[in-house]
Amino acid sequence: MSFLGLSSGRPKTAKRPGNGSYAQKQYLLKEYAEQTLGSGNLRLAVHLPEGEDLNEWLAVNTVDFFNQINMLYGTITEFCTPQDCPVMSAGPKYEYHWKDDSQFKKPVRVSAPVYVDHLMTWVQSQLDSEVVFPSKIGVEFPSNFKTEVNDIFRRLFRVYAHIYSTHFPVIVSLGEEAHLNTSFKHFILFVKEFDLIDPKELAPLSDLIESLLAQSKN
């Protein structure tokens, strides 16, 4: 289990597979997202482009946020160890136990780095699945695709929550504060735009979220 490259501190990134016109479509959507982000208007950046398929937009952004969060966490892996973070938490009131449909069918208490490694490996398996994230031309997304995306975003949020609650001083010392805040603000605006996470799940960072959303209105 070394998806995040915890020993080397060099996390991997994911790309959606594709070919032909489908791959070109993926590329154009990604380019559009990057251009709107470059404008500095994050609210505009999360909107579904006119005439585009919602599921495809969700898919492209799921990959993007997965890569962003993976890279952000990669900057603090040497500080997030089983000794320093024996549980996956977001402050003293929120603790996360790992559960999946294969190896851990019941929730299990693991250290933060082990939890994140399981999480990222699981997300990667979802992205690689032709059943969940089809890459072939003419193959439709599954009927429960939005539910699958919701589950991915719900779990990815927990990495942000852990970083902010436990490792923010390190983020500041590394000069990554602005990058983290912009990434998280973009994430939350996207989540709100498409109703991807139950508000109760966002409680650990509710004050920060309220502040960021207020800023985005200015």
Looking at residue 34, what is its pLDDT? 53
Is 97 labelled as part of a ligand binding site? Answer: no
pTM beyond 0.85: the answer is no
Q: What is the pLDDT of residues 97-151, one digit of tens each?
A: 999 888 888 999 999 999 999 999 999 999 999 999 998 877 899 999 999 999 9
Give me the phi and psi of 6, to 5 degrees please. Answer: -60, -30
- Whether the CA torsion 210, 157, 4, 89 is positive or negative: it is positive
Write the CA distances from 126 to 57, 78, 132, 133, integer angstroms.
16, 27, 6, 7
The answer to whether 4 and 77 have CB atoms below 8 angstroms apart is yes
In angstroms, the CA 82 to CA 94 distance is 17
Q: Looking at residue 11, what is its pLDDT?
A: 47
Is 186 marked as binding a ligand? no
Say whether 198 sits in a helix, a strand or coil.
Answer: coil
Fold topology of 20-216:
Butyryl-CoA Dehydrogenase, subunit A; domain 3 (1.20.140)
pLDDT of residue 218: 52
Every domain of the chain and the residues it spans: 20-216
Question: How confident is the model at residue 30, as a pLDDT?
Answer: 52
Q: What is residue 213's predicted lDDT score, i.e. its pLDDT?
A: 84
Residues 67-105 pLDDT 10s: 999 999 999 999 999 999 999 999 999 999 999 888 888
Question: Which pLDDT band, with edges at 50, 70 and 90, does 214 fall under?
Answer: confident
Residue pLDDT, tens place only, 168-204: 999 999 999 988 998 999 999 999 999 999 999 999 9
Q: Is 118 annotated as a binding residue?
A: no
